[in-house]
């Protein structure tokens, strides 16, 4: 799992956990205190739009307050965007993969926000589960119909083949 952390979330490094298991620090203060343990490293990532993005990252393995398992904590900094604090529950994953995973997750969050705000996904006043499934499928079809690719709208033939409503069997009422 990859996720973002608020600045006031408490965490600790493995070293601190072994010496003083009850001493927790805010995530921003933890990274400030662990300068030697986690030096800044530059990371270049090429996105889907072929632009290179440069990040400065720091990586610490430790614990989050409220979780019992070990996690990877990442402090990512972009010049104009400020700092983001990320967490990954799999400690074997590289820093690059964590940042790419978070970028993908963020695009999904933006998609869900757009679908809820513009297409009425949350306004399904239905009683039956099958009706809810149909509502979700029609909302996603409306999103696909309005989406534009490379400045031109997709044709109805291509949209109907990618729309999940046309790929499921008819639901009996």
> What is the model's pLDDT at position 48?
65
Among 39, 89, 36, smallest CA distance to 62 is for 89
pLDDT tens per residue, range 134-162: 988 988 888 888 875 434 444 444 444 44
User: Is 13 in contact with 33 (CB distance < 8 Å)?
Assistant: no
Helices (H), 76-169: 95-119, 129-146, 156-162
The residue that leads in pLDDT, 121 or 62, is 62
> What is the model's pLDDT at position 167?
44
> What is the model's pLDDT at position 166?
41
pLDDT tens per residue, range 13-35: 988 878 888 889 999 999 988 88
Decide the pairing of beta strands 10-13 and 82-88: unpaired
Decide the pairing of beta strands 2-5 and 41-46: unpaired
- The backbone torsions φ and ψ at residue 130, rounded to the nearest 5 degrees and listed phi first, read -60, -35
For residues 66-91, b (16+ Cβ closer than 10 Å) or e, as one string? eeeeebbbbbbeeeeeeebbbbbeee
> What is the model's pLDDT at position 79?
76
75: Cα within 13 Å, side-chain hemisphere: 23
Look at the pTM and tell me if it is higher than 0.75. Answer: no
pLDDT tens per residue, range 64-122: 999 889 999 999 988 777 889 999 999 999 998 998 888 888 888 888 888 888 888 88
């Amino acid at each position: 799992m990859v996720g973002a952390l608020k600045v006031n979330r408490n965490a600790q490094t493995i070293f601190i956990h072994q010496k003083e298991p009850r001493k927790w620090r805010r995530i921003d203060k933890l990274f400030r205190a662990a300068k030697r343990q986690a030096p800044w490293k530059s990371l270049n990532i090429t996105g889907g739009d072929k632009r290179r993005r440069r990040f400065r990252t720091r990586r610490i393995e430790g614990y989050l307050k409220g979780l019992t398992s070990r996690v990877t904590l990442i402090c990512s900094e972009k010049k104009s965007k400020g700092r983001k604090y990320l967490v990954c529950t799999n400690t074997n994953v590289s820093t690059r993969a964590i940042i790419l995973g978070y970028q993908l997750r963020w695009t999904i969050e933006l998609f869900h926000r757009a679908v809820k705000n513009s297409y009425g996904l949350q306004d399904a006043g239905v009683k039956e589960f099958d009706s809810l499934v149909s509502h979700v499928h029609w909302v996603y079809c409306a999103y696909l119909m309005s989406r534009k690719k490379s400045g031109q709208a997709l044709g109805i033939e291509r949209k109907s083949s990618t729309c999940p409503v046309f790929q499921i069997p008819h639901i009996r009422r």
